[in-house]
Amino acid sequence: MRVVCDTNVLVSGILFGGNPRELLRLCSSGTLTNFTSPELLREIEQVLLRPKFGLNEEQVYGIIRLFRDTFSLVMPEIRICIITADPDDNRVLETASSARAEAIISGDAHLLELKEWNGIVIVTPADFLKNFFVG
């Protein structure tokens, strides 16, 4: 299944575990194909470099390299302006559109309130694992 995991899911999976960690495991095993873009990778890097997470640059760049090696990279060619309250969330939609993803997995309220966009379901990690993932 083709998915786009939002930054908050990936960061939670790396740092905290739970359902987001299970999604990372499914992506790294090839059970799910997670797509990302250069803009989403930059956002993940910026978030992981925040002092509150206590990671050094070497650790963060190692995580980014792992994501580059594990995830499929797309280069969105369209700009989307659906979410006005937080325009950065549109980068997730652009990535999903370019990847022809079947689902966006996110904990972000702006994305989740859409429920579905352009034929792509938008769900939390728990809802995805419970209702959409068969494995």
Res. 134 pLDDT band, cuts 50 70 90: low
Report the pLDDT value the prediction gives residue 114, as an integer from 0 to 100.
96
Average pLDDT over residues 31-40: 96
- For residue 3, is pLDDT > 80? yes
- For residue 135, is pLDDT > 60? no
- The whole-model pTM stands at 0.94
Answer with the residue of higher pLDDT: 133 or 109. 109
Report the pLDDT value the prediction gives residue 132, as an integer from 0 to 100.
81
Structure tokens at 48: 């992981």
Domain borders along the chain are 2-132
* Contact (CB, 8 A) for 61 and 55: no
Res. 43 pLDDT band, cuts 50 70 90: very high
* Contact (CB, 8 A) for 107 and 18: no
User: Which residues partner with 4 through β-bridges?
Assistant: 104
- Top-level CATH class of 2-132? alpha beta
Report the pLDDT value the prediction gives residue 5, as an integer from 0 to 100.
98
